[in-house]
Amino acid sequence: MQPKTKHLALGAAFGLAILVLILLLVVVWVAYSGTYNIAATQGHQPLVRWTLMTTMKNSVADRAEAITTPSMNDEMVTAGATDYKSMCQHCHGGPGVRQSEWARGMLPEPPHLTDTISEWEPREVFWLAKHGIRMSGMPAFGPTHSDDEIWNITAFVMRLPGMTEDEYASFETGSSTDHGH
Ligand code: HEC
């Protein structure tokens, strides 16, 4: 290396080290100062929201890619309906059923799955129900439920778009923890 290029390389490395140090100091300052508002009553800044949403979508798509989706029949849908009503409805509602009041105070607010689920593949819904979403309030059901049970719920969730209120109401609740109707 020529002495001049060596100087330039050293200078660039030094500049980069200073930049990393400043960034670290900013992170530490944000964490310790209390300036950052974590209230659920105030939405994220647009850039933060975009980063979180995009990271979440791509993370799920990437991890769900290797999952093989079983063929889903009516029996699975019926079995999944009971679990959906007792474990998901408070937060995600259903045809003719709104989320619980407390779920509407969450940030992010749990989406009304009947409207949003068509954006997701069944294997992604399975992955989401099994693993949950960290720091968002979306629980992981994998530690407490078998894959078969989670596929049943997935089969039911995929049927939600276009399901009538009567049809939704006709599925059995099967649990005393249900807050619907
Ligand atoms: C305590 C509330 C809560 C419960 C119970 C809950 N979820 Fe969620 N769920 C959330 C929240 C909050 C999000 C949004 C997370 C985000 O956008 O980062 C979410 C997101 C999702 C998504 C992604 C949808 C989208 O459009 O972004 C799916 C699919 C999902 N949940 C399925 C389920 C299923 C299936 C169950 C029941 C087995 C369930 N959830 C139970 C709170 C909940």
Q: Average per-residue pLDDT in the chain?
A: 93
Which of 52, 87, 138 has the most ligand 1 atoms within 8 A of CB, as the residue to mutate? 138
CB 85 within 8 A of CB 160: no
User: Residue 27 Cα, ligand 1 centroid: separation in angstroms?
Assistant: 29
Distance CA 25, CA 44 (A): 22
Task: Tell me 94's DSSP state.
Answer: B
- Is there an atom of ligand 1 within 6 Å of 92 CB? yes
46-170 fold = Cytochrome Bc1 Complex; Chain D, domain 2 (1.10.760)
User: Residue 113 Cα, ligand 1 centroid: separation in angstroms?
Assistant: 8
Which of 89, 91, 160 has the most ligand 1 atoms within 8 A of CB, as the residue to mutate? 91
Domain ranges of the chain: 1-36, 46-170
What does the pLDDT look like over 60-113, one tens digit per residue? 999 999 999 999 999 999 999 999 999 999 999 999 999 999 999 999 999 999
pTM, full prediction: 0.88
Rg (CA), the chain: 23
User: Residue 138 Cα, ligand 1 centroid: separation in angstroms?
Assistant: 5
Residue 52: exposure state from Cβ atoms within 10 A (0-12, 13-18, ≥19): middle
What does the pLDDT look like over 7-18, one tens digit per residue? 889 999 999 999
Task: Identify the band that residue 178 occupies on the pLDDT scale cut at 50, 70 and 90.
Answer: very low
What does the pLDDT look like over 126-142, one tens digit per residue? 999 999 999 999 999 99
User: Residue 121 Cα, ligand 1 centroid: separation in angstroms?
Assistant: 14
